[in-house]
């Protein structure tokens, strides 16, 4: 019964760009709580994306699920700022550090001390913030500007990375599903992070509790690729 209902739910989502929880409950003649449970299960399985009371199928024709940067910056603001603060413990003078274009890494950039570091990033806001630091050497990925995510997309990134020895890559992601797969909202973001994970000697994933048991549009890789996580989730929850 549940499997049939979830399959019907997926068919409805496939036929529409996006549907609200209320609309799905009406269509399937069940309660909104039942729909929420089904959506949670489907999201953990990596089949849908949920956001702001709406849901849609992954890998549909409408494949740009990225929220604008400043919308993401306001979401879970205090949690992200606190997680970023804990990540500072990993930094030492003389490091070559890479940051992605996530809002959590922007929180980290704002808290970075002005010490001798080399910092590589594809994030426009991080570049702007580093302009205020006199002791940090900034290397920007360059490329085509994606205004929505406030990041650069550079097809020549693999060549550029060959000249860099990255000690630590710090990043966030759209979600980590029940199988331990990391996901992001766009192919460009996912490719950037996958390439940096391969190049960096160590990596640090900054992830708040809202992103666990969630999937996204583009796969980054398995959580086992990450050296360490900084999160606000209790250890017991990570063992589910």
When pLDDT is cut at 50, 70 and 90, the band that residue 40 belongs to is confident
Angle, in degrees to the nearest 10, between helices 2-15 and 21-28: 120
Q: Where are the domains of the chain?
A: 2-57, 69-238
For residue 23, is pLDDT > 90?
no
Check residue 68 and give its pLDDT.
60
In whole angstroms, how far apart are CA 190 and each of 52, 101, 196, 219? 22, 11, 10, 6
Averaged pLDDT, 159-166: 94
Check residue 219 and give its pLDDT.
92
Topology match between the domains 2-57 and 69-238: no
Nearest to 226 by CA among 163, 181, 166: 181
In whole angstroms, how far apart are CA 175 and each of 45, 141, 172, 183? 12, 24, 9, 5
Averaged pLDDT, 74-100: 86
For residue 95, is pLDDT > 60?
yes
What is the second-level CATH architecture of the domain 2-57? Orthogonal Bundle (1.10)
Check residue 204 and give its pLDDT.
96
For residue 65, is pLDDT > 60?
no
Class of 69-238 in CATH: alpha beta
3-state SS class at 27: helix
Extended strands (E) in 16-166: 19-20, 48-51, 54-57, 96-99, 117-121, 136-140, 144-146, 151-153
Averaged pLDDT, 202-219: 90
3-state SS class at 169: strand
State how far the Cα of 219 lies from the Cα of 217, in Å rounded to an integer: 7
Rg, Å, the chain Cα set? 19
State how far the Cα of 145 lies from the Cα of 28, in Å rounded to an integer: 42
């Amino acid at each position: 019964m549940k499997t049939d209902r979830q399959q019907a739910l997926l068919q409805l989502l496939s036929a529409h760009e996006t549907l609200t929880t209320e609309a799905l409950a009406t269509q399937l003649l069940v309660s909104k709580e039942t729909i929420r449970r089904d959506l949670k299960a489907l999201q953990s399985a990596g089949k849908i994306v949920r956001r702001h009371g709406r849901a849609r199928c992954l890998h549909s024709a409408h494949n740009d699920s990225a929220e604008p940067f400043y919308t993401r910056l306001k979401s879970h603001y205090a949690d992200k700022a606190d997680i970023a603060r804990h990540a500072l413990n990993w930094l030492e003078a003389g490091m070559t550090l890479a940051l992605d274009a996530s809002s959590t890494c922007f929180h980290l950039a704002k808290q970075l001390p002005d010490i001798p570091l080399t910092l590589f990033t594809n994030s426009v806001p991080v570049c702007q913030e580093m302009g205020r630091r006199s002791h940090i050497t900034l290397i920007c990925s360059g490329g085509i500007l994606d205004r929505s995510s406030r990041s650069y997309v550079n097809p020549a990134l693999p060549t550029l990375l060959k000249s860099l020895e990255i000690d630590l890559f710090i990043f966030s992601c759209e979600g980590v599903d029940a199988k331990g797969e990391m996901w992001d909202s766009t192919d460009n973001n996912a490719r950037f992070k996958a390439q940096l994970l391969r190049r960096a000697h160590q990596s640090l994933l900054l992830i708040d509790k809202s992103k666990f048991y969630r999937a996204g549009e583009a796969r980054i890789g398995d959580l086992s690729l990450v050296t360490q996580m900084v999160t606000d989730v209790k250890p017991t929850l990570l063992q589910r």
